[in-house]
Amino acid sequence: MSGGRISGMTREAYVLTGADVFTRVMQNEILGPDGIKDLEEFLKGIEERSRKASREYTEFLNRTHEKSQAYQKEAALTSHANHARSIASHIAKMKGSVEAAKIDYDNPRLRLECLAMMGYLRCQCEAMENYIL
């Protein structure tokens, strides 16, 4: 995709819709016996994936807004920086929640909280990788 929207969706709509669908699909997996292991595996790769996607997305924004007004470029980069900070905070929070879920193994609420963050992070990375504005 050359950048823009998927079926007219903004980045926010894409992330919210995708995370909701992902959470529903993965719920039984995460509540199952290997759920904690799945969450830990996800955490191992998400930091690097998000950094790489963020770098590429920033380059895309710089190329896209090369000839546009300076304020448009600044607005796009500021918006992306806000998303990047949100991603970093969700990763940090998910790490703590996974540790808590390991301690309180039979607590489905903790696992579902981790799953919601997993869906959000996955869809944020997809949005950057697909250059959704």
Q: Is residue 30 part of a domain?
A: yes
98, 5 Cβ separation under 8 angstroms: no
51, 84 Cβ separation under 8 angstroms: no
Q: Is residue 80 part of a domain?
A: yes
Q: Is residue 105 part of a domain?
A: yes
Q: How many domains would you assign to the chain?
A: 1
Q: Is residue 1 part of a domain?
A: no
Q: Locate tokens 């193994």: which residue?
A: 105
Q: What is the pLDDT of residue 3?
A: 55
Range of the structural domain that residue 107 is part of: 11-129
**pLDDT 10s digits, 113-133:** 999 999 999 999 999 999 887
Rg of the chain over all Cα atoms, to the nearest angstrom:
16
Cα 54 to Cα 36, 122, 124, 127: the distances in Å are 27, 13, 10, 10
Q: Is residue 2 part of a domain?
A: no
Q: Is residue 53 part of a domain?
A: yes
Q: Is residue 20 part of a domain?
A: yes
Residue 41 pLDDT exceeds 50: yes
Q: Is residue 123 part of a domain?
A: yes
Residue 8 pLDDT exceeds 80: no
**pLDDT 10s digits, 43-74:** 999 999 999 999 999 999 888 877 777 778 88
pTM: 0.88
Residue 2 pLDDT exceeds 70: no
